[in-house]
Chain A
Amino acid sequence: GDSVTQTEGQVTVSESKSLIINCTYSATSIGYPNLFWYVRYPGEGLQLLLKVITAGQKGSSRGFEATYNKEATSFHLQKASVQESDSAVYYCALSDAGSWQLIFGSGTQLTVMP
């Protein structure tokens, strides 16, 4: 079945430094899946950060970017300069076209140190 892999369970970065959170996926459908990053800030519900539904395209939101790389089956999340307010749990996810399911990775807890 489909799966999403996030290798880092926890990441700690100093404020103003750059960030990469890794995400790779495996999808069984013939077409390409839709890819997403969701984020859960402390005390808030899980919310969509960005999405890309076309292979090769880049999505961006709140200074974060992720590029849909179909050759590497990756969708890494990047930010050039993190802020303390970015501290949260980040989930990579995919859905196959027409599927009722959103498949999540295991999540990455990001802590930004002042």
Chain B
Amino acid sequence: ETAVFQTPNYHVTQVGNEVSFNCKQTLGHDTMYWYKQDSKKLLKIMFSYNNKQLIVNETVPRRFSPQSSDKAHLNLRIKSVEPEDSAVYLCASSHRGLNTGQLYFGEGSKLTVL
């Protein structure tokens, strides 16, 4: 049963446009994440957000920015998409950081940049 909800599940857009993906978790977790899964199925962490503390993977381009209104929501905004941004973006949540390793993932948001 899904408890991490992502919208939209698919999005096709052109280079230079702005895109936003929304994520909501109903598990009462205090930490949320965004991962990027590329065409080779590699999963890379992009951001972690815990109690208003943002941790950024230094390899993430500046056009990506997370946005959070409360601990149940963490959206992902891409200011001006590039072709290499085509990927599946996975939102996840956990309780009290990663010490247990139990992440709960959404089904993903697939972005295609033309």
Residues of A with Cβ closer than 8 Å to B? 34, 36, 38, 43-48, 51, 53, 89, 91, 93, 95, 97-104, 106-107, 109
Contact = CB atoms under 8 A, between A and B. Distances in A.
22 contacts: A36-B101, A43-B107, A45-B104, A45-B105, A45-B106, A45-B108, A47-B105, A48-B101, A51-B101, A51-B102, A89-B41, A95-B99, A98-B97, A99-B98, A100-B98, A101-B45, A101-B57, A104-B43, A106-B41, A106-B42, A107-B41, A107-B43
Interface in B34-76: 40-45, 48, 50, 55, 57
Contact of B101 (A93, A98, A106): A93
Interface residues of B, number: 26
B19 interface: no
B97 to A, nearest CB: 6
Nearest to A94: B101
Interface of B: 2, 4, 40-45, 48, 50, 55, 57, 90, 92, 97-108
Contacts of B44: 104
Q: Pick the 9 closest A-B CB pairs, nearest first.
A: A46-B105, A104-B43, A45-B105, A107-B41, A45-B107, A100-B48, A95-B98, A36-B101, A34-B101
Given A100-B55, A100-B97, A91 B105 contact: no
A87 B100 CA distance: 26
B40 A106 contact: yes
Choose among B2, B103, B108 the residue with the greatest number of A CB atoms under 10 Å from its CB. B103
